[in-house]
Amino acid sequence: GAVVSQHPSWVICKSGTSVKIECRSLDFQATTMFWYRQFPKQSLMLMATSNEGSKATYEQGVEKDKFLINHASLTLSTLTVTSAHPEDSSFYICSASRTGEVREQYFGPGTRLTVT
Q: Does 107 bind another protein (CB under 8 A)?
A: yes
Of the ranges 11-19, 63-71, 79-87, 90-98, which one interacts with another protein (CB under 8 A)? 90-98
For the chain, give percent helix, strand, coil, nearest 5: 5, 55, 40
Should residue 25 be labelled a site residue for another protein when binding is judged by CB under 8 A?
no
- DSSP, collapsed to helix, strand or coil, labels residue 115 as strand
Distance CA 20, CA 103 (A): 27
Binding region for another protein (CB under 8 A) out of 13-21, 63-71, 73-81, 107-115: 107-115
Contact (Cβ atoms closer than 8 angstroms) between residue 73 and residue 54:
no
Binding residues vs another protein (CB under 8 A): 4, 32, 34, 42-46, 49, 93, 95, 97, 102-105, 107-110
